[in-house]
Structure 1
């Protein structure tokens, strides 16, 4: 029996997807990270960073934790800080969803909202990071988890990959991971290289993200891609980048919900479509694992809202009303990047 809610973080189930692509020539497995108590994979690094800070004395009962995040890491840190009775200031921006703001308030976080992007880069992320540094200079005994540069972020995902290997009990041929801080992909990639696995690590990135390219495109799905190239992005650990559009994410999510009854977050839809894009490249009999980062309830007003989808993309519901393999054969799915 675990002690407290933090004991439920990790050891998420790995399941086989049998309906997403019927009669697939390879096996597709999903790591259900949205079953962490805070609803996402970010519970893992949030707990690791706070716990290690307490253990080493970097954090004490009077410390104010300050971080930039508008989504899952914010909620993971708010949960951990609430559990350990720590003060937490979360720097968000005007694009943060109402649901996430409500969750942060419920956990007792103080919210600092950035209304304008950074004037130099045009990115909200840089503006949020600048604000974090300002607050840390102003507030005594403050602590910045620095999810984009703190090695405790990727380190905890050695355990994530170990769980996958142990649960599958066979070779993991392909691992599909969404980009953001790149903590997950770095940690899993390091595990694969250290243990001499032949796993091909596939980074699924948003079109318009600075991680895999410089294309100008509006990113509508939070938590996928980034406006900067994070320190954790290590090219030597990544075998291939696959770019997905915001529409890809919507279509993938709707297919997962319709076929597997999995209500997953936006980046999970991008991962699903990345697998579809690479279908012809993956040998028959391969084992492919998709890490599904977060749950879909936080996207009911966007990805799963017919009104929002029509407003952003037009009449596209036909894209998830036919089997995914039909989309692929009709070349309606974008080619892999």
Structure 2
């Protein structure tokens, strides 16, 4: 399985085509990938752990989803399922929608993005600005009570209504993890000379961690994989419950998740994500989204169990600008997560104290 995943996205669109002169490339897709890997010295300075952050937020669309979006569209075109003038209909919590809007526009393809009521307003506006169309699901699926299931049903309806429309199905498309095997993890491995003790990634479709795991296995690395999932997600044996933040966890077991077994799964609450995201911003100057905040919080709780000198990398899945009205807004956090400024301060102090004991 891992070899198939790694091979499914040969030439995943990481800037290889279109060079016209040194420092000049053709098209914004050439800027996808080759993101920096940054050592963080201020996040948990007394941890004794070397912490590296893969800054996927600097991709053209602002997230790691630029990689699978480009890979899946190119794969669909190569297979003949999609061509200029066609239509892509896809379910997204936001980031993939932004990435696909950009890629589809560049290829002359109509794009309809099915989102739900949790999606950030800035993200929806960005998709529209890039030429995408929005189909909003306001209510959960009546049978399951899940918004993701409701989005899937809307996708099916649109595929029936729009002649020739194609669903790339990020939740099961091998090009999704393939892009991370051939791109994200390969870049991390090469930057660290293949010496990495642990990798942390947030999970939703599970494409990132599945692709990274594929590369780790195929290259013989001894890296442990740690999946950060939302409380309320059903992935990896979780129990279903409402999830207030988009882009982390899933209400259904995705096809890709069945192909990967992380070495460890850590579940985080919405408030944990807020604490982690704000800590990363204020200690390292990296404004990241909710899922990355979840990773930071999970890392702080794991530090005491890591050996001194451990080298660990985590994925900064997206930037924080779309979350300024949610994760970084005190009024929203208190209203939605029932956590006021004092509670957040106490949780942050507790996390830092835990990490310092490492």
Deviation track 1:204-251 (CA, whole Å, cap 9, x = no partner) reads 000010113443543122100011111111475410100111111000
Tell me if the contact between 1:254 and 1:320 (Cα under 8 Å) persists in the aligned partners: no
Of residues 84, 91, 99 in structure 2, which corresponds to 1:76? 99
Superposition deviation, residue 325 in structure 1: 2.9
| Counterpart Cα distance in 1 of 2:158 and 2:253 | 23
Give the TM-score normalised by structure 1.
0.94
Superposition deviation, residue 170 in structure 1: 4.8
The residue that corresponds to 1:120 in the other structure is: 143
SS of residue paired to 2:243: coil
The count of residues paired between Structure 1 and Structure 2 equals 331
Deviates more, 1:24-33 or 1:87-96: 87-96
| Counterpart Cα distance in 2 of 1:151 and 1:238 | 18
| Counterpart Cα distance in 1 of 2:40 and 2:259 | 29
Deviates more, 1:189-198 or 1:48-57: 48-57
Superposition deviation, residue 56 in structure 1: 2.4
Tell me if the contact between 2:240 and 2:251 (Cα under 8 Å) persists in the aligned partners: no
Superposition deviation, residue 276 in structure 1: 1.2
The residue that corresponds to 2:323 in the other structure is: 299
| Counterpart Cα distance in 1 of 2:220 and 2:355 | 33
Instruction: Please list, as runs of the form range in 1=range in 2, the aligned pairs for 1:11-26 lying within 5 A after superposition.
Output: 11-26=34-49
Q: In structure 2, do the counterparts of structure 1 residues 328 and 23 end up closer, same or farther at CA, with 3 Å as the change threshold?
A: closer
Tell me if the contact between 1:92 and 1:113 (Cα under 8 Å) persists in the aligned partners: yes
The residue that corresponds to 1:131 in the other structure is: 154
Gaps of 5+ in 1: 331-337
The residue that corresponds to 1:335 in the other structure is: none
Of residues 184, 198, 201 in structure 1, which corresponds to 2:208? 184
The residue that corresponds to 1:226 in the other structure is: 250
Superposition deviation, residue 119 in structure 1: 1.1
Deviation track 1:274-302 (CA, whole Å, cap 9, x = no partner) reads 11111122111111001110000000001
Tell me if the contact between 1:157 and 1:183 (Cα under 8 Å) persists in the aligned partners: yes
| Counterpart Cα distance in 2 of 1:132 and 1:236 | 26
The residue that corresponds to 2:168 in the other structure is: 145
The residue that corresponds to 2:4 in the other structure is: none
Of residues 200, 225, 231 in structure 2, which corresponds to 1:207? 231
| Counterpart Cα distance in 2 of 1:216 and 1:43 | 28
Gaps of 5+ in 2: 1-23
Cα RMSD, aligned residues only = 1.8
Tell me if the contact between 2:201 and 2:227 (Cα under 8 Å) persists in the aligned partners: yes
| Counterpart Cα distance in 1 of 2:123 and 2:80 | 30
Is residue 243 of structure 1 aligned with residue 267 of structure 2? yes
Q: In structure 2, do the counterparts of structure 1 residues 221 and 300 end up closer, same or farther at CA, with 3 Å as the change threshold?
A: same
| Counterpart Cα distance in 1 of 2:260 and 2:87 | 36
Superposition deviation, residue 79 in structure 1: 0.8
